[in-house]
Structure 1
């Protein structure tokens, strides 16, 4: 009988996810609203929310990806680094690096800490590994208010 050999990649746990309580209701509503349009993505977001540790906004660590915080990540498949800002769908502007939380990369990044790596699937169904390199401590909403 053939026994599949497990590798560390097969048994690798998904990284921890931490979400601020101030975003929780909005994220759940977005996921539920997307169930008809994009059930796979909605399910992924609900899954991430379900396994997340929810903390008061003031206790959300500065090195954790959150709505409005710029994040630099590396696509380990291509070796490219990219900086984006996860935002709510109505604020998305790819030309300015603002990606909707309702995209595969937005769902993959939310709640991850610096140094975390995970597998994610592109819109084309390609599996990649992504690593969070840096999270900006100030979100872009605060920087706009300061101007």
Structure 2
């Protein structure tokens, strides 16, 4: 996964943080690269009580409109936990894209490596709170 100083600030609620730590531990065996990426993101996250978070951040259960790369059409998705069976428009946080979306604000850009190892840059256009 991509490292660097071009990563925006991210915010995560305390309750989500605990559940994401447990998910990270379970992912360590089946998806070690995703687990490592999630670990790095959780380490740099601003963790606050849910009521103190900005309204326009990508949280678990949020519907988000984003672009994977400049020039690509926007996509809607809902961020879900790994223990949920994702439906067509849902994105699991057990994927590189799901981890990259986590905690971002509208207008943020985030680099990440997709499941094929291709470096992408996503941009958040709109967030509908959970």
Q: TM-score, normalised by structure 2?
A: 0.91
Of the three residues 49, 64, 75, the one matched with 2:68 is 75
Structure with the bigger percentage of helix:
1
Q: How does 1:1-147 map to 2 (within 5 A)?
A: 12-95=5-88, 97-137=89-129, 139=130
List alignment gaps of at least 5 residues for structure 2.
none
Q: Higher relative CO (CA 8 A, sep ≥ 6), structure 1 or 2? A: 2
List alignment gaps of at least 5 residues for structure 1.
1-10, 140-147
Question: Which whole-Å CA distance do the structure 2 matches of 1:75 and 1:42 have between them?
Answer: 21
Question: Which whole-Å CA distance do the structure 1 matches of 2:98 and 2:23 have between them?
Answer: 12
- Count of matched residue positions in the alignment of Structure 1 and Structure 2: 128
Q: TM-score, normalised by structure 1?
A: 0.81
